[in-house]
């Protein structure tokens, strides 16, 4: 807590704060950070697949360590993730998040005819910051918005952004279906990403209103998302987008191959979308979550 004493700080105090601000990212080793370092060293010694992580700079690896440490510490008090061990976070979350960067870069260069530098990216339903915080660390020239509706998760996200020292990420609290109608966010982003949020036909209504005309929506899915894509065809058409490529992604985790579904937005999204899920045909829905899971279908009258 900052206490104001009613007088201006001395030059020496200001200089000291300036010095501390620019110190390298360091902190006393904790049990979790020691486990993190041991895990990464063991992975290298055994030849384990950590290629995405190994391509990062020393500073970025330090930021990943700080994030994983914070995630597991906070997870003891609030339910941020089902995994409890460093190796599981690295394999199931960090490597999985890093793995979607090449598909984003390749598809943006191919279909958007633009540079991948300084992209405006939104992670919809980021949860504990996956993949958003990892993207912000690995791609420091991207501007990443972490969109999350739950207050406790937003508090953790603010902490994670501060402790890792990333300056290219901001936390926005709110539901995508509401923020998609906000002119500050609507059709603003070059790329929207979503991981483990909802099935494809629901995701397109959450995410595509946030994507600019000519931008991309990238959904991280399992190894065989064909049925989800088929079920989302009408939703994609109404939202003004189409699937342009499926990337088979080796996430270097023990959970097998993943797929990145890349959608290109060719037309503006109609103003009525995204719809508020708590009100349907002017009738209040008593169970919004059940509504999202079963009735939230594009084109339903």
User: pLDDT tens-digit profile of 187-211?
Assistant: 999 999 999 788 999 999 999 999 9
Give the model's pLDDT for residue 197. 80
* Residue 282 pLDDT grade (very low, low, confident, very high; cuts 50, 70, 90): very low
For residue 11, is it within any domain? no
Question: Whole-angstrom Cα distance, residue 118 to residue 52?
Answer: 21
Give the model's pLDDT for residue 249. 87
pTM of the entire structure? Answer: 0.80
Q: Looking at 17-26, 97-106, 119-128, 288-297, which range is the least confident one?
A: 17-26
Assess whether 152 and 223 both reside in one domain. Answer: yes
Assess whether 54 and 142 both reside in one domain. Answer: no
Q: What mean pLDDT is predicted for residues 11-36?
A: 45
Judged by phi (left if over 0) then psi (alpha if -120 to 50, else beta), residue 123 lies in beta
For residue 38, is it within any domain? yes
Question: Whole-angstrom Cα distance, residue 146 to residue 171?
Answer: 5
What domain range is 77 assigned to?
30-93
Q: What mean pLDDT is predicted for residues 161-170?
A: 98
For residue 205, is it within any domain? yes
- CA-CA distances (angstroms) from residue 94 to 54, 100, 196, 205? 12, 11, 14, 26
End-to-end CA distance of the chain: 53
174: closest CA among 122, 239, 211, 100? 122
91: closest CA among 260, 258, 254? 254
Question: Whole-angstrom Cα distance, residue 214 to residue 209?
Answer: 12
User: Does pLDDT of 16 surpass 60?
Assistant: no
Considering its fold, how many domains does the chain have in total? 2
Question: Whole-angstrom Cα distance, residue 247 to residue 220?
Answer: 10
């Amino acid at each position: 807590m900052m206490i104001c004493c009613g007088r201006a700080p001395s030059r020496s105090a200001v200089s000291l704060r300036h010095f501390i601000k620019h110190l390298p990212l360091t902190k006393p080793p904790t049990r979790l950070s020691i486990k993190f370092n041991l895990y990464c060293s063991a992975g290298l010694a055994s030849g384990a697949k950590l290629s995405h992580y190994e391509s990062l700079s020393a500073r970025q690896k330090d930021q990943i360590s700080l994030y994983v440490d914070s995630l597991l510490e906070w997870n003891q008090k609030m339910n941020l993730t089902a995994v409890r061990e460093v190796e599981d976070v690295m394999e199931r979350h960090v490597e999985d998040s890093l793995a979607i960067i090449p598909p984003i870069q390749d598809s943006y260069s191919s279909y958007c005819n633009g540079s991948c530098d300084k992209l405006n990216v939104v992670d919809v339903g980021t949860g504990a910051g996956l993949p958003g915080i990892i993207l912000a660390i690995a791609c420091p020239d991207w501007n990443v918005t972490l969109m999350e509706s739950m207050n406790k998760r937003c508090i953790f996200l603010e902490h994670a952004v501060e402790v890792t020292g990333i300056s290219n990420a901001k936390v926005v609290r709110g539901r995508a279906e509401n923020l998609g109608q906000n002119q500050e966010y609507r059709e603003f982003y070059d790329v929207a990403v979503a991981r483990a949020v909802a099935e494809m036909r629901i995701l397109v209504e959450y995410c595509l209103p946030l994507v600019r005309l000519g931008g991309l929506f990238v959904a991280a899915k399992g190894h065989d998302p064909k049925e989800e894509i088929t079920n989302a065809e009408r939703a994609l058409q109404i939202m003004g987008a189409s699937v342009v490529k499926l990337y088979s992604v080796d996430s270097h985790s023990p959970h097998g191959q993943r797929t990145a579904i890349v959608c290109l937005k060719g037309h503006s999204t109609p103003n009525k979308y995204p719809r508020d899920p708590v009100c349907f045909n002017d009738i209040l829905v008593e169970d919004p979550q059940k509504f999202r899971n079963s009735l939230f279908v594009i084109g339903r009258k």
